[in-house]
Amino acid sequence: MNNSIWSKLFGNASPRQVRVRALVDFSVANLVLIVAAVLRLAIRGELDFADPVNQLASKITVTYLVHAGWFALSAGALLTWAGIYRPLPSSRIGQRLVHISKACGIGMAAHLVIGSIWQGRVGPTLEVAVPAWSLLGVSIFAVRYSSMSLTSHYRVVPRKPRSSVLSDKVEDVLVVGGAGYIGSILTKQLLDKGYRVRVLDMGMFGHESLQSLAGHPRLEIMSGDFRNVEDIVRALRNIDAVVHLAAIVGDPACALDKDATIAVNYAAARMMAQLARADGISRFVFASTCSVYGASEDIRTEESDLNPVSLYATTKIDAERALLETADDIFQPTILRFATAYGWSFRPRFDLVANLFSAQAVTEKHIRIINGEQWRPFVHTVDIARACVMAVEAPLEKVGCEVFNVGDHTQNYTLQQLGQIVAECQPDTFVEEITNNDDPRNYRVDFSKIQRVLGFRASIDLHEGVREMVEAVRAGKVINWQDPVYSNLKTLQQGGPNILQFERARSEEELRETKRFLSRAA
């Protein structure tokens, strides 16, 4: 089967995963058909438990064999067509239910037609087809999403023997996405603190952001794809801690290709965590977002209900859950939910609201605020990187399997207040306010947990950050802030290095061989 057909039917599932799940579904199909046969006999009054066992079994077998030929095969074909062997995060469970229901509905109709023609009567076929396909739909859905499901216990890689003692010693840090908006600043901060840093970055925006660090004796820049198993395995070798920043970031960018967004923000992050776990790495800092809180009038804490209103937020929630479910006595991930970022970076961005307003104020003397009464929490790039470093350095008993909002309570602002700050920094700016329903996000966030546990407070406030961006644009630090390279959305729209084209993950068998090779080479 060629890659395009495989990808369409099975996504990034490995051949072994598909085989095992198909075998389970085939077994389920045969079991429900037997149950349907028993029900048919019971409805017709032919099920007499006083009969000898062999006679009772014979009655059931006759009914089963009449239908088994097309039922199991057509069930497998229809379920494959429905796409249930493609990995899918829990956020799209409703979509999966619809697909299963549609497949079973088509199967039931086809069964009735074929069975009626074969037997010459509708009744006998109806008595089997309706319960069989109904039970199949319920059973397949239950197998997929029950806490006892085989798939809920799937492991991408075998776990190698590890020490049962947690170690707080960190010398080598892998930064996934280390050439990006936050990653380039984090890389420099880690180097300044004496760590050896390995950057894994596919170079979607180039590696110019790390140019000032080129040749640093403790920096290794690895150009690779964090969706590729071999690249991940190489990148994780001899690493003590991972900071995973790589993602398709921002609601508009994520909306371009939903399947691609899920593959990057959820599936690839999950695979990275599982491989780190298999390597015995305890520290895994994952970049999430305060957008998971969506729309709320209350101030949100880490324990608040999540209310995502975008695919970006939904994939981050699913990735958080996958990482925390992967945790054990050794692997202890830390989830950092970043507030809305702003500020200068070695890889600048002007698709973030504070940075965008700052650039527009300087060059156009006009900013447009949409739904100015909505709240957002803000945090500077430098402080986001600081929070990542603090999570890497903190004792594991403090940060292991914990979720932290990253920001400062003093930087919860409405968009209208943001506009006023920008106008103060660029006084001749005309501020236009409009209202629509395009973006329902509205949330304020409590940051007391990270302050209490890690002693984190923002070192830069929004006024300073806006002035920084205004002065950067005035000084010509960027030739054209509207260049697509400064926008995630525009870069993706222009097809930045095939970011929306995905290779399937290597099969579990191939990965096991790679791990064995690395073990022998160590």
Please name every residue paired with 333 in a beta bridge, in sequence order, or none if there are none: 284
DSSP β-ladder status, 196-201 and 283-289: unpaired
To 5 degrees, how large is the angle CA 63–CA 28–CA 76? 90
CA distance 349 to 478: 10
CA distance 280 to 501: 30
- Look at residue 21 and tell me whether its pLDDT is greater than 50: yes
> Dihedrals φ, ψ of 368, to 5°?
-115, 115
- Look at residue 183 and tell me whether its pLDDT is greater than 70: yes
Structure tokens at 61: 């077998």
- Look at residue 64 and tell me whether its pLDDT is greater than 70: no
Tell me the average pLDDT across 437-449: 89
Residue 289 CA to its chain's centroid (Å): 12
Domain boundaries, the chain: 3-152, 172-498
Instruction: Kindly state the percentage of the chain with pLDDT values over 90.
Output: 50
Closest CA to 453 of 411, 399, 409, 410: 399
CA distance 518 to 130: 53
If you average pLDDT over every residue of the chain, what do you get? 82
Q: Which residue has the higher pLDDT, 88 or 271?
A: 271
DSSP string, 157-176: SPPPP--SS------EEEEE
- Look at residue 39 and tell me whether its pLDDT is greater than 90: no
What 3-state DSSP class applies to 331?
A: coil
CA distance 519 to 233: 11
User: How confident is the model at residue 102, as a pLDDT?
Assistant: 87
Q: What pLDDT digit, counting tens, does each position of 320-366 carry?
A: 999 999 998 899 999 999 999 999 999 999 999 999 999 999 999 99
Other C-beta atoms closer than 10 Å to the C-beta of 501 total: 10
The answer to whether the CB of 356 falls within 8 A of the CB of 494 is no
Tell me the average pLDDT across 46-65: 57
Other C-beta atoms closer than 10 Å to the C-beta of 226 total: 23
Give the confidence band of 187 by pLDDT, cuts at 50, 70, 90: very high
Instruction: Kindly state the percentage of the chain with pLDDT values over 70.
Output: 77
Beta-carbon-side half-sphere exposure of residue 354 (alpha carbons within 13 Å)? 30
User: How confident is the model at residue 433, as a pLDDT?
Assistant: 93
Tell me the average pLDDT across 1-26: 65
Q: What is the DSSP letter of 295?
A: E
pLDDT-wise least confident of 45-54, 105-114, 172-181, 256-265: 45-54
Give the confidence band of 519 by pLDDT, cuts at 50, 70, 90: very low
The answer to whether the CB of 381 falls within 8 A of the CB of 342 is yes
What 3-state DSSP class applies to 333?
A: strand
Q: Which residue has the higher pLDDT, 85 or 224?
A: 224
CA distance 187 to 209: 10
User: How confident is the model at residue 504, as a pLDDT?
Assistant: 37
Please name every residue paired with 433 in a beta bridge, in sequence order, or none if there are none: 369
CA distance 274 to 156: 7
DSSP β-ladder status, 375-380 and 412-414: antiparallel
* Superfamily designation of domain 172-498: NAD(P)-binding Rossmann-like Domain (3.40.50.720)
The answer to whether the CB of 508 falls within 8 A of the CB of 14 is yes
- Look at residue 16 and tell me whether its pLDDT is greater than 60: yes
Please name every residue paired with 173 in a beta bridge, in sequence order, or none if there are none: 197, 241
Q: What pLDDT digit, counting tens, does each position of 450-505 carry?
A: 999 999 999 999 999 999 999 999 999 998 999 998 998 888 887 654 555 543 33
CA distance 346 to 331: 32
> For the range 399-402, what are the long-range contacts, defined as Cβ-Cβ under 8 Å and sequence gap of 24 or more?
399/332, 399/334, 399/453, 399/454, 400/166, 400/282, 400/327, 400/332, 400/333, 400/334, 401/324, 401/327, 401/332, 401/333, 401/334, 402/334, 402/335, 402/453
Dihedral Cα 113, 116, 120, 122, nearest 10 deg: -130
Give the confidence band of 261 by pLDDT, cuts at 50, 70, 90: confident
CA distance 482 to 97: 43
Closest CA to 262 of 83, 142, 389: 83
Other C-beta atoms closer than 10 Å to the C-beta of 424 total: 12
Tell me the average pLDDT across 277-303: 94
Who contacts 48 (Cβ-Cβ below 8 Å, separation ≥6)? 56
CA distance 250 to 494: 16
- Look at residue 123 and tell me whether its pLDDT is greater than 90: no
pLDDT-wise least confident of 138-147, 260-269, 277-286: 138-147
